[in-house]
Structure 1
Amino acid sequence: MAERVKTLRLILGDQLNHQHSWFKEEQENICYVFMEMRQETDYVMHHIQKVIGFFSAMREFAEHLKERHHEVIYLKINDKKNKQTLPENLKQLISEYEIEKLEYQLPDEYRLDVQLKDFCSDLNINTEAYDTEHFLTSREDLTNFYKGKKEMTMEYFYRDMRKKYDVLMVNSKDPEGGKWNFDKSNRKKWNGTPEIPHERGFRKDVSTLLQEVEKAGIKTFGNLDAEKFNWPTSREDSLSVLNYFSKNLLIHFGDFQDALHTEQAYLFHSRLSFALNTKMLHPKEVIDSVIGYWRENKDEIDISQVEGFVRQILGWREYMRGIYWKEMPGYGRSNKLDNQNKLPEFYWSANTKMNCLKHSIQQSLDNAYAHHIQRLMITGNYALLTQSHPDEVDAWYLGIYIDAIEWVEITNTRGMSQFADGGIVATKPYVSSGSYINKMSNYCKGCEYDVKKKTGEHSCPFNSLYWNFLDDKREFFKDNRRMGMMLNMLDKKSEDELFRIKERANAIIQNPENF
């Protein structure tokens, strides 16, 4: 530690941006601080791989800074000096090192933003907040973009971003390939071909860190092979995953991005979300790298593959962050459908006879990962159809996935998946019967339940739950034009059929552990 440290700079666990301008400046009398805290491990129960992933990435970034002769204070989870909360640790460091100025990068979680603002307002030293230099929009850009508009349709925001950053554009107005969106090409079922290359794996030994986490008494869930940790925890790792995706997976990414399969956890997905959400990679560098590879290999790779990927990052990711800052803090309490049920215990054990849920949850417990359709149309669909409280659903999604940080998790869960926001993100709820799951996967094959049956002992639970949900929420959706066709179909069911559907659905909702 330098004798005189005048400025203390805080780096949070999702601010591991090697390219931030902070590190390019004259560094005299500046010290960086990282903290592993119970405050962050305990606000929900997290997957063990998530805790290990964040701590590993933080430690590697701290070492990276030390190697470049930056002053670093690193509070590990079991350090005696660690007070386990942000305010208490900062207060102690400011006093101990006679800090004259505290600087921090704007947090991406509302709770941390408020915590730091409140803390700084009580300090008698100078403080300054900086941009993280990561996102392609500011907190306010989306709010300004939709000002005066009735609906916040993502497609128009996405097109504006394409133009703004000149991504896949022929000129200032026209998209490459003649279309803005190739989503209709991105809905194929995978039946064993084409062959899926193995994911870019790492097999790191994190046994020592696991012992530290266990010694700290942190309560976690999920599974971990401590000698084969499989996530990128450095910028070098992250770039390796990015390059592997372009060379091996991009060619079929768009085709099968909505597919589901019992034997494939990753299919052609990139596994870049953790690297992006911790800021080890910048979204524009990811987009540029993937498009660059596609341009060199246009003879082999169709534009629909690359556009589907770009839409997720340039469109959806920035859009969800904009919604978050526009709607918080009220968004975190929204429950427009007034759903009140508990999430079934099998979400933490995968102990269910429903094949689709068993595979999706077991995969999540094993890998701290599921792709967007597993999250939306399997675990999210079931949670909504059983009318689970969005607080319960939020806590599970935020805890189980390694890439889950509140700004991206809550908007996808409470908005897209659970319709708890009443239609801010999605114009209709993303619910389906078993037929969609059967169309996009092999999950129904070998399942105890018959996807073609709506009622009876061996009928697929999704079928009765779907029609029951529409009936229970009929009043809420009666004026939603996108729900009209399904409500008309509901109206055509006889009293007897509807009675049997609701009887079956209520048996599932009341005793989910039996199914």
Structure 2
Amino acid sequence: MQPPELRLVLGDQCSASLSALEDLDPARDVVLMMEVQAECTYVPHHPQKIALILSAMRHFARALEARGVRVDYIRLDDPANTGSFSGEVARAVARHAPARIIATEPGEWRVLAEMESWEATLGLPVEIRDDTRFLADLAFFRRWSHGRKQLRVEFFYREMRRATGLLMQGDQPEGGEWNYDAENRKPLPKGMLPPAAPRFPPDAITQEVMALVAARFPAHFGRLEGFNWPVTAAEAKRALAAFIAERLPRFGDFQDALAEGEATLFHSLISTSLNIGLLLPGDVCAAVEAAYRAGQVPLNAAEGFIRQVLGWREYVRGLYWLKMPGYGATNALAAHRPLPEFFWKGDSGLRCMDAAITQTRDLAYAHHIQRLMVTGNFALLAGLDPLAVQEWYLAVYADAFEWVELPNTHGMALHADGGVMASKPYAASGAYLNRMGNHCARCRYDVKRAEGEGACPFNFLYWDFIARHAQDFAGNPRMAMPLSTLRKMAPAKLAALRSEAAKFLDTVSPLP
């Protein structure tokens, strides 16, 4: 009998269509799945994130076994567990004597580098296959990006619309416009109550995992109580169906809204399911388009959501692999302040910040405007060290994997890549936060004050940021308006604003 092939399935690869499982022979081959300590602790991941991945892995292993597949499953608490991918692959090779190892490319550069070392260290062939679960392969992105001075997502998104035919009428976009972002910026009306998120009570497998995570990682930021993530493909499909029926119709209007006490608003809550493979982006986009074609949702909602998946999600993955391994180490704005302690405690006194941080602690979730324009905006204005901010985002969100987290944080939120991703820094004063949300009304700080007692820190930090980087942005046409305002500002007023910023930052984040 021929020796088996060892097929690897990682924690974010819980997909029946995974390329590593193609042409698998259940009578011969072995699937290796590994829960390892190193992956739980290379940053202090939120307990809900660890529990989500381990539970999804265990459910997926059970589904494979139900199909007659032999699964070699290594649990985190196995006394013989070496705690690393390489250690567990070596042990599996010793157990099964496979002819070769077959894996799907991982989502993180460091894991790919580890995989690429196995052939030499283990002395047998290692085949690393493309991850075909995405709508654009990496070669497509490289071809698109070749020769371009600027890698703007809008132009990539249009190419993806043409390539897939999603929301197209022949060679023209549905409705005559490629992008309805201008219709996606309404604040939540007073008295409007978004529907509750669907519930996925932890089953016996998830409860066992939660107990393990609670025992092993008691010091990690975040609460396990209230865990409510889909952990199987069937649950993920239910989550998608609930979103399309209950929240997608209003998603387009209010996707950028901030609202006191409303953690999820009209958002999909399926990014975890997409990022660990319980849902596939093509299926998700097709379901949303079908709802639009059936007259169930407006065009601005369908386009706004498809843009996030087909455009943004595919784009950030392509950019990550194009620019790694050095991308995350750039620091174009020379930001060096350490992460303030309130990023872990949620006690800054800024109501919008504390709401986003405590919600993150409780749910391992915050929507994209909370990430970009609240915590990310603060980090940008304050000049926080990109490496520290990136580690925080990677640790605290259940959907955060480096391929998607790093470009979003480094390029979009922090502008640390110098404009590779975004044409301008996403910097905003308190006026934006007040316009898009209702936290300011009950905040200890006055959003209408830029200096003096009780002034909103976002206001003086914003002008300090603009002044600090005036030369950096002098040639950027999208920064012409704030730079013009800065030039007209009375020197005494600017000095007072910058003094306020310096005092505040020295209190919450003194330079090392």
Would you say same fold, with TM above 0.5? yes
Displacement of 1:148: 1.7
Q: Deviations over 1:378-429 (max 9, x none)?
A: 0000011110000010000000000000000000000000000000010110
Aligned equivalent of 1:278, options 276, 279, 283:
276
| Amino-acid identity (%) | 38
Does the 8 Å contact 1:77/1:213 carry over to 2?
Answer: no
Over 3 Å counting, the alpha-carbon distance change for 1:211 and 1:128 in structure 2 is same
Correspondence 1:502 to 2:502: no
Contact 2:451–2:460, Cα closer than 8 Å, also in 1: yes
Q: Is 2:104 the partner of 1:100? A: no
2:300 corresponds to which letter in structure 1? Answer: S
2:476 match = 480
* Secondary structure of residue in 2 paired with 1:511: helix
Compute the displacement of 1:291 (Å): 1.2
The code of the aligned residue for 2:180 comes to F
Alpha-carbon distance in structure 1 between the residues aligned to 2:187 and 2:217: 43
What is the deviation of 1:131?
A: 2.2
The amino acid across from 1:91 in the alignment is A
**In structure 2, what is the equivalent of residue 353 of structure 1?**
349
Matched, 1:255 2:259: no
Q: Residue in 2 aligned with 1:493?
A: 489
Contact 1:77 / 1:216 at 8 angstroms: preserved in 2?
Answer: no
TM-score by length of 1: 0.96
Instruction: Please report the TM-score for the alignment, with normalisation by the length of structure 2.
Output: 0.96
Moved more, 22-31 or 465-474: 22-31
Structure 1 partner of 2:13: 15
Q: Give the Å deviation of 1:107.
A: 0.8
SS of the equivalent of 1:32 reads strand
Separation in 2, partners of 1:292, 1:253:
16
Secondary structure, aligned partner of 1:223: coil
Deviation at 1:123, TM superposition (A): 2.7
Return the alpha-carbon distance in structure 2 between the equivalents of residues 70 and 23 of structure 1.
Answer: 12
Q: Pairwise mapping of residues 68-467 of structure 1 onto structure 2 (< 5 A)?
A: 68-171=67-170, 173-204=171-202, 206-217=206-217, 219-225=219-225, 228-296=226-294, 298=295, 301-467=297-463
Structure 2 distance, partners of 1:317, 1:75, is 31
Between the aligned partners of 1:322 and 1:448, the Cα distance in structure 2 is 42
Look up the equivalent residue of 1:422 and give its one-letter code.
G
Q: Which amino acid aligns with 2:195?
A: P
Q: Distance in 1 between matches of 2:121 and 2:17?
A: 31
3-state DSSP of counterpart to 1:476: coil
Shift in Å at residue 26 of structure 1? 3.3
**In structure 2, C-alpha distance between the alignment counterparts of 1:87 and 1:239, rounded to whole Å:** 33
* Deviation by residue 1:120-168 (Cα, 9 ceiling, x = unmatched): 2333222212223201111232221122222112111111111111101
Distance 2:92 2:504 in 1: 54
In angstroms, what is the RMSD of aligned CA positions? 1.6
Contact 1:38 1:85 in 2 (8 A): yes
Q: What is the DSSP-based 3-state SS (H/G/I as helix, E as strand, rest coil) of the residue aligned with 1:187?
A: coil
Offset at residue 210 of structure 1 (A): 2.6
Q: What is the distance in 2 between the residues matched to 1:218 and 1:356?
A: 27
Shift of 1:259: 0.2
- Does the CA-based 8 Å contact 1:384-1:418 persist in structure 2? yes
How far is the alpha carbon of 1:194 from its aligned partner? 4.2
Q: Which runs of 5+ in 2 are unaligned?
A: none
Closer, same or farther: CA 370–132 of 1 in aligned 2, 3 Å: same
For the 8 Å contact 1:47–1:399, the answer to whether it is kept is: yes
| Consecutive unaligned residues in structure 1, runs of 5 or more | none
Paired letter, 1:202: F
| Alignment partners' CA distance in 2, 1:77 and 1:458 | 49
Residue 5 of structure 1: how far off its partner (Å): 5.5
SS in 1 for 2:358: helix
- The more displaced of 312-321 and 483-492 is 483-492
Runs of 4 or more consecutive aligned structure 1 residues displaced over 6 Å after TM superposition: none
Q: Tell me, what secondary structure is at the counterpart of 2:71?
A: strand
Q: Is the 8 A contact 1:15 1:132 kept in 2?
A: no
Measure the CA separation in 1 of the matches of 2:433 and 2:227: 31
State the distance in 1 between where 2:190 and 2:66 align.
46
